[in-house]
């Protein structure tokens, strides 16, 4: 092995290797940067709410809104113009029920929005859909409930299969199951294949942790659990090896790409997954990560743009190929 460059001592007694040489100018730093943040790496989550007349700001996520079908189109066009790699759609239905019926209704809000986006920007970007029930169930849980009030894993899989078909039929290129039910990827893969959508890809929310950092999202998507929490199906933040098992399981079931979520408190998991798999790895920089930076920046406590770019670069450096972030459009412009 070569000697560590820093160990050599030059004539004047100073180290020969001077790392600062390559940090001297912005152009030098750009030339030798190990990690690139580029617009196509970024995926923008978007919320669309049925029955809205005007976009509705999300108080805990300054700059993020619940879209109308019309404002959604505009946000999608903006994102695509900025070069963003994909859009990830979340729907908020007008009516919630025990089965989450609106989730797979062909006239449901996400399905209608998809048809619109497919027409507007479909060829220019990747349309992804969050595939879950929590926005659609009265309970706010990600699945159907047993009479005892537990989330019924296998009954929920049938619902996910139906939602996958509805989203694919409406134009989704990628479905992203986020409910953390065991066997969800297999159920969805077989539904898509059997339903005539073998080309639709699955991005598994494979290592999704039960996280306090989802707090603001639950306002945005109106999906806070009405009782209990999601710790019985989402992962425990103490566990890293378990994430690798979840990822392996999703790949065995047919996932085309995998995700770690949240990002910042789990960068070690992002790195381990990236080292372990040969498929694209996404990391979701979640609502709470967004809110922390926005709130501190509003108070003048941190530099907003630098914090955004440092956050997203750190997630890429940890090994994420794709970063799902509410800053996607803005960050794409900043790095272009
Ligand atoms: C579930 C889902 C959640 C998020 C994405 N998909 C919420 C949850 O599991 O409670 C959180 C995203 C974020 O916080 O930005 N459909």
**Predicted pLDDT of residue 16:** 83
**Predicted pLDDT of residue 333:** 98
Spatial neighbors of 81 by CB under 8 A, at least 6 apart, are none
DSSP state, residue 302: S
CB 264 less than 6 A from any atom of ligand 1: no
**Predicted pLDDT of residue 12:** 75
**Predicted pLDDT of residue 1:** 45
- Strand extents, DSSP E, 136-288: 174-177, 201-208, 257-261, 281-284
**Predicted pLDDT of residue 219:** 87
- Strand extents, DSSP E, 105-235: 126-131, 174-177, 201-208
pLDDT along the chain (336 residues), means of 10: 57 82 96 97 98 97 97 98 98 96 97 96 95 96 94 97 98 97 97 98 97 94 91 96 98 98 98 98 98 98 98 98 98 96
Domain segments of the chain as ranges: 36-335
Residue nearest to atom 14 of ligand 1 (CA): 214
Instruction: Please state the pTM of the whole predicted model.
Output: 0.95
Rounded to whole angstroms, the Cα distance separating 214 from 172 reads 24
**Predicted pLDDT of residue 314:** 98
Asked if 109 contacts 93 with a C-beta cutoff of 8 angstroms, the reply is yes
Asked if 89 contacts 70 with a C-beta cutoff of 8 angstroms, the reply is no
CB atoms within 10 A of CB 23: 11
Q: What are the CA-CA distances from residue 86 to residues 68, 171, 230, 324, 329 (Å)?
A: 19, 14, 27, 9, 10
Rounded to whole angstroms, the Cα distance separating 237 from 240 reads 8
Residue nearest to atom 2 of ligand 1 (CA): 178
CB 286 less than 6 A from any atom of ligand 1: yes
**Predicted pLDDT of residue 239:** 98
Pocket test for ligand 1, best of 89, 129, 134 (most atoms within 8 A of CB): 134
Quick one: fold of 36-335? TIM Barrel (3.20.20)
């Amino acid at each position: 092995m070569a000697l560590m460059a820093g160990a050599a001592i030059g004539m004047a007694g100073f180290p020969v290797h001077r790392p600062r040489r390559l940090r001297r100018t912005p152009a030098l730093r750009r030339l030798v940067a190990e990690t690139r943040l580029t617009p196509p790496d970024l995926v923008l989550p978007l919320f669309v709410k049925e029955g809205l007349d005007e976009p509705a700001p999300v108080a805990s996520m300054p700059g993020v809104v619940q879209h109308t079908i019309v404002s959604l189109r505009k946000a999608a066009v903006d994102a695509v113009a900025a070069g963003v790699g994909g859009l990830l759609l979340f729907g908020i239905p007008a009516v919630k029920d025990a089965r989450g019926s609106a989730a797979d209704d062909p006239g449901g809000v996400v399905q209608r929005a998809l048809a619109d986006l497919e027409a507007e920007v479909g060829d220019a970007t990747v349309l992804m859909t969050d595939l879950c029930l929590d926005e659609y169930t009265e309970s706010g849980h990600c699945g159907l409930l047993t009479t005892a009030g537990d989330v019924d894993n296998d009954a929920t899989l049938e619902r996910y299969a139906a939602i996958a078909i509805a989203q694919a039929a409406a134009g989704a290129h990628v479905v992203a199951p986020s409910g953390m039910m065991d066997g969800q990827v297999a159920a969805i893969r077989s539904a898509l294949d059997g339903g005539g959508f073998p080309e639709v890809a699955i991005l598994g929310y494979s290592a999704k942790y039960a996280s306090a950092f989802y707090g603001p999202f639950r306002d945005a998507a109106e999906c806070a659990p009405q009782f209990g929490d999601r710790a019985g199906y989402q992962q425990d933040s103490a566990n890293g090896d378990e994430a690798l098992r979840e990822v392996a399981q999703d790949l065995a079931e047919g996932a085309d790409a995998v995700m770690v979520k949240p990002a910042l408190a789990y960068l070690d998991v992002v790195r381990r997954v990236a080292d372990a798999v040969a498929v694209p790895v996404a990391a979701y920089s979640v609502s709470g990560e967004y809110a922390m930076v926005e709130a501190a920046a509003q108070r003048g406590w941190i530099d907003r743009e630098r914090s955004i770019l440092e956050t997203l670069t750190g997630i890429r450096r940890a090994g994420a190929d794709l970063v799902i972030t509410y800053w996607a459009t803005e960050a794409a412009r900043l790095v272009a």
